[in-house]
Amino acid sequence: MGSFRVVAPVAGMLLLSLTALDAHACTCGEGPHNAFSSADLVVKGRMKTVTFGDQYPTGDLGGKPLRYGRGEVEIEKVLKGSYSERTVPVYTGAGPGDCGRLGEFVNAAVYYDHETFGEFELGLTKIGMNGKTFYVSSMCDYAKGSKFEERPKVEEGGTE
């Protein structure tokens, strides 16, 4: 229970950074080779649906509702970690300024049935909040597939 108290504030800050309105360019602090190993869950699957503009489950922050993108990933195989459901909801920001993958999520959903383009691998970060578990993905997380872009360059002083 004590770890939940630590994770909740960190998770809140992460989600705020995913939806920051005044953010500039997205840069990742660690090299791409660390992205797979640092993911809590890595799944291979297809993007079933995508929604944007829903209010984040925790409610308002500073008088403004926190909005996000959410993709429903249909899991074909769990590559790292454990997850028992057939689909996993994945939350993300809107785009490059907040490191979100919304555009990639939409592209993957458009190609859902395509033999080559529809399948991808996605690294997810697990967040516990208000007694519930959420999974998020940003441009800095592991992703492999034809409709997912390469990670942004590492900031100066980071490792590649």
Residue 65 is predicted with a pLDDT of: 66
- Which residues lie across from 91 on neighbouring strands? 70, 136
pLDDT of residue 137: 92
Residue 103 has pLDDT above 60, yes or no: yes
Angstrom distance (rounded) from CA 69 to CA 25: 18
Q: Which amino acid would we find at residue 4?
A: F
**Per-residue model confidence (pLDDT) at position 98:** 79
pLDDT per position as a tens digit, 13-31: 444 444 444 445 677 876 6
- CATH architecture for residues 2-144: Beta Barrel (2.40)
Which of 47, 58, 59 has the alpha carbon at shortest distance from 88?
Answer: 47
Residue 39 pLDDT exceeds 70? yes
Confidence at residue 83, expressed as pLDDT on a 0 to 100 scale? 96
Give the residues across from 45 on adjacent strands: 75, 120
The better pLDDT of the pair 65, 59 is held by: 65
Give the tens place of pLDDT for each residue, 73-95.
999 999 999 999 999 999 998 87
Pairing relationship of beta strands 87-92 and 132-136 according to DSSP bridges: parallel
**Domain ranges for the chain:** 2-144
Between CA 55 and CA 97, with CA 95 as vertex, the angle to 5 degrees is 105
The reported pLDDT for the residue numbered 147 is: 65
